[in-house]
Structure 1
């Protein structure tokens, strides 16, 4: 670019900025004040990556982004293989940028050929790594010799920069590029030193990198070639062509969507304040309701006035004021009748308010001039006597009170309320029994409606279910017998559970708290907490009540529970057998009497209870007696 050549020191400042920051900063400031427009160099050696359609003669694509601008020999450059119909190099900038121009260095080690192979190439842009991008930012006409170092405008928004050719210039289709630099700004920036931010271009399009103008229209709410100017007051939207609604206090609406910053003017609604109040409402925030306009016509949406006359019973411009006391009807021209306690009549139709005449009088033609018939009472005689006054007498016509009291099952001065749930009888003094399913008893006689009681309560001829089961019985109809509760306690008459929490010996407590199951074989005692010894004779279980063995113990065991071995020196059934002569006075097996080791001298056998034969002695009776013995020798010593 011409301005880059003219102000070369500015670019030197950028190049040396990593080592001489202060000097570089000074150069950049000078460039800024003299009006030079600079752009970022976006190819970063060691970071930016490049890919090519093929590789020939060691010309790998990353050589174009390594920062080395050596142009000969060809080994410093990227080279595609010439036996293909197309060739391309793709440079990945790592993210999307607003691009201005592209600069390339061609190999210069073949003066005869110059840059012939490059003629007719194109530079293309894309945001995706597609094989052949379609957005061409520069197309070489191919009719002139190109310089070794050339820079071309290539404006657009892109992440990938492509160099593409499918033209055979005499020795195959190929690309030979030694180095690439791409100039531009970060996305959405333009202008001097890339310091200015793009406006609000439609569809987030990038602005012109030089002057910031938008390629198409602006986003709603903005105008101007750069789309950086908000709509003027009281206008908004696309091309600023829409007019604001009725925002409160004449405030301007939002320049993009037309919404009002606060409330609306009286009579309008919606976030844009561009809609009149819905029918029958008016005023600020459309919260005030219209009066009674004739034939229910809507009032004015701003001030609430009616377009014509009022409905009967109302007056004023808004028809929201009732007639004066004592008058009613159309134009409030009719006079009220004689309502109770001098109350005024309804201002619309002349009826007495809430239907109230003097108590005991009929509401006849809305004039309250006839006494109530027998059996009715109160205002306008609209109330019926309860019919539950004692002695069959009628209630009082003024207030419906039963002066002589109520019949059974009824209460209140009017005798019109049944006893509250759970009570019955005269003056509702009696408490209901336990009806099945929590049913309510008859409020007059207390009987249960299904003629069944809750478990734990007895039936009776009056079916009141107010007597608990007899001791020892429980459950539905008191037909179930209690289990074996500890301490001879009686079970709960409803569910049969034992109150103490434990059972009599020999019975176990179930999950529902009953003691109606015997202990399992092998257990006994309270709640079956004790385990039998397991040594009862004939393999029988112990008593589930006290743990005793019914037929005595197995061989080798003793006491009532058969949980003690025979004492030292005894064995067998009931420990009645005596042990033999076990060596070292060791005890014999408490079950079968066998000795654990050898026998005392002079004895033999498993139980060591058999003496040796004539003229024998010693260990296992294997020694012979001395010759001097004329009779049987002593078994132990042989003499």
Structure 2
């Protein structure tokens, strides 16, 4: 498991304060128990203050496990109320993490590459959770050298994920062969870069050498990621060790950091129902893919698009004066109405006009009265010498 941040929540203040001075360890050996053995302490709470009910703890380590440790041996010198010096407990309700999705069995799919080696340098070695520094080159994935001017490595997830960033570890000694490499995301398992049905999210600046360890921000909802290296044509670069005659991908680990679909943040929490299909920005939860309410304005999805109003922006503004718009909550036109329209929302015809667009003039209704603004019917009857429901027919002379 790769952990970026850890969050724990305690039920009561007294239970929280029992954890004053607690520590967090990471480890790779399943037999580890804190504080001894092959683990590493990554956090110790400051005993001069009380811990919080909810805490975010930065870890940023490649690890197989995490551990919380609480000790009163010896008791701490602290002013934190309800600190219990005689015994230690761990009382937590939830631990949430942003994780390496590539190692999550619910999401882990298939790795592949161009011109693969058979055996120990296979594509899946780049998503096995082991780094070259710890385990040697047989945990890395290589494509064959001197075969092609383009090379790629890709990893297809089992399902859609909200990918925050990639942490890429290149092979020692051949990092600079990757000068100018690109990263793509895709949703079709048949995708191979750089074809059009993927999206490029990063290209390394050819004016500088790549680093052996690189973070590449993605912030995309995707089903797969791909690394693409091309020497067609060769790049103009001063990076020492750049190889212009062939392309390879030589990666020891690709950590796909992010959240499950419909989640975001550190730790991963649910996207808002305001977001279209409940998908959101992996960093801040904003609705970058659109809003559930059709006429709301992304990414905030709290304000209506111009020309709409109401709780869910379900109503269209009336006929406000040209160049102006209604209030997005009340629908009132603050600057008045277009010609022939009336009402606070400019949604009814001005007296003397009717029809759905107020384009027709009322007939000869009885003086001081007006026709219905939709039907044109004169409810109080007609002026002298006129008849018909809309008072638009002149009486014959013999009926006068």
**TM-score where L is the length of structure 1:** 0.34
Is 1:101 matched with 2:165? yes
Provide closer, same or farther for how the CA distance between residues 118 and 189 of structure 1 changes in structure 2, counting only shifts above 3 A: same
Match of 1:300 among 362, 369, 372: 372
Is 1:208 matched with 2:281? yes
Match of 2:110 among 39, 43, 49: 49
- Measured in 2, the distance between the counterparts of 1:118 and 1:25 equals 45
Whose helix proportion is higher, 1 or 2? 1
Match of 1:63 among 114, 125, 130: 125
Post-superposition shift, 1:311? 5.9
Provide closer, same or farther for how the CA distance between residues 100 and 25 of structure 1 changes in structure 2, counting only shifts above 3 A: farther
Provide closer, same or farther for how the CA distance between residues 164 and 307 of structure 1 changes in structure 2, counting only shifts above 3 A: farther
Whose strand proportion is higher, 1 or 2? 2
1:104 and 1:149 in contact (8 A); partners too: yes
Match of 1:117 among 161, 169, 177: 177
- Give CA deviations for 1:518-546 in whole Å, capped at 9, x if unaligned: xxxxxxxxxxxxxxxxxxxxxxxxxxxxx
2:140 and 2:171 in contact (8 A); partners too: yes
Provide closer, same or farther for how the CA distance between residues 213 and 310 of structure 1 changes in structure 2, counting only shifts above 3 A: farther
2:364 and 2:383 in contact (8 A); partners too: no
Say which one has the larger Rg.
1
2:204 and 2:210 in contact (8 A); partners too: no
Q: What number of residue pairs does the alignment pair up?
A: 273
Post-superposition shift, 1:165? 0.1
Provide closer, same or farther for how the CA distance between residues 230 and 311 of structure 1 changes in structure 2, counting only shifts above 3 A: closer
- Give CA deviations for 1:2-40 in whole Å, capped at 9, x if unaligned: x869954486899449xxxx97966847xxxxxxxx634
Match of 1:88 among 152, 159, 162: 152
- Per the alignment, residue 396 of structure 1 pairs with none
Provide closer, same or farther for how the CA distance between residues 123 and 239 of structure 1 changes in structure 2, counting only shifts above 3 A: farther
1:287-326 aligned at under 5 Å gives the runs: 299-301=371-373, 304-306=379-381, 308-309=383-384
Report the RMSD for the aligned CA atoms in angstroms.
5.4
Provide closer, same or farther for how the CA distance between residues 231 and 148 of structure 1 changes in structure 2, counting only shifts above 3 A: closer
- Measured in 2, the distance between the counterparts of 1:85 and 1:12 equals 33
Post-superposition shift, 1:103? 1.1
Provide closer, same or farther for how the CA distance between residues 228 and 301 of structure 1 changes in structure 2, counting only shifts above 3 A: closer
Provide closer, same or farther for how the CA distance between residues 299 and 183 of structure 1 changes in structure 2, counting only shifts above 3 A: same
Unaligned runs of 5+ in 2: 6-41, 44-56, 68-88, 235-241, 320-327, 332-344, 356-361
2:123 and 2:141 in contact (8 A); partners too: yes
Post-superposition shift, 1:125? 1.1
Q: Secondary structure at the match of 1:153?
A: strand
2:184 and 2:201 in contact (8 A); partners too: yes
- Give CA deviations for 1:455-499 in whole Å, capped at 9, x if unaligned: xxxxxxxxxxxxxxxxxxxxxxxxxxxxxxxxxxxxxxxxxxxxx
1:573-588 aligned at under 5 Å gives the runs: none
- Per the alignment, residue 39 of structure 1 pairs with 98
Post-superposition shift, 1:61? 0.9
- Measured in 2, the distance between the counterparts of 1:163 and 1:173 equals 12
- Per the alignment, residue 221 of structure 1 pairs with 295
1:498-537 aligned at under 5 Å gives the runs: none
Post-superposition shift, 1:92? 0.7
- Per the alignment, residue 127 of structure 1 pairs with 187
Greater relative CO (CA pairs within 8 A, separation 6+) = 2
Post-superposition shift, 1:79? 1.0
1:185-584 aligned at under 5 Å gives the runs: 185-197=259-271, 207-214=280-287, 220-223=294-297, 225-229=299-303, 235=309, 242-243=316-317, 299-301=371-373, 304-306=379-381, 308-309=383-384
- Per the alignment, residue 165 of structure 1 pairs with 229
**TM-score where L is the length of structure 2:** 0.51
- Give CA deviations for 1:302-339 in whole Å, capped at 9, x if unaligned: 88234523767x9xx999xxxxxxxxx99xxxxxxxxx
- Give CA deviations for 1:142-191 in whole Å, capped at 9, x if unaligned: 44444433322122222110011013733731111122211123334433
- Per the alignment, residue 82 of structure 2 pairs with none
Q: Secondary structure at the match of 1:68?
A: coil
- Per the alignment, residue 77 of structure 1 pairs with 140
